[in-house]
A = this chain, B = another copy of it.
Amino acid sequence: MNMVNPPLPSETSREDKIQSNPVRLGARLKLTRQTRGLTLKALALSADCSESLLSKIENGKASPSLPMLHRLVQALDSNIGWMFEETDADEGVVFRAGTRPLISLDPLRRGEGISLERIIPYSQGHLLQCNIHHIDVGGESAGPIQHVGEEVGYVLVGEIELMIGDKTFRLSAGDSFVFNSELAHWYRNVGNQRASIFWVNTPATF
């Protein structure tokens, strides 16, 4: 190695050290927050920290302390483990039935008796969000998150009542729907068995 020109000490090294991990963690946190339709302010409030700190964490300019991270994932109704989960964003991913990550949602935020089965893993670089919504008998979604974008779905099994805007539909297995995400929407299992909906939507950040 050239002794006259030793490796630059500052510049990148500092940034890199900060970013090596945090940049991915940050991105994951951001994506999670956006998926939940939360603003920095809102998350900051429920995780009890400042808006600006969140901004820095999400952009890899700071890495949260463990207690902080814990409060964050809690507020996001996620868990620390899978913030670090490895995923392959740009090669194809195939998931077998029954092997997909299952997420139980905060009833207050997302609804009663609903769990999501992830079709598209959380990782950077995905354009779409896709989950199978499993709705227990009598379960229903909470207040809708309204955002720009579009939603498509297909009822795999069960009987549900779906409200889009001011209209109500009763859907059975095999029925499908599309609507603009800005329309208020809400659903409920009205059958006597667990219902499943294959649901795709464009992210809030569009």
Contacts and interface: CB of A to CB of B under 8 A. Distances in A.
Interface string A85-103: 0000111111111101000
Contacts of A152: 119-120, 128, 130, 200
Contact of A178 (B93, B169, B177, B185): B93
A176 B90 contact: no
Taken together, the copies of this chain in the complex come to 2
Interface string A111-147: 0000000011100001110101000000000000000
Interface stretch (A6-14, A41-49, A64-72, A160-168): A160-168
Interface of A: 34, 89-98, 100, 119-121, 126-128, 130, 132, 148-150, 152, 154, 156, 162, 164-165, 167, 169, 171-180, 183, 185, 198, 200, 202, 206
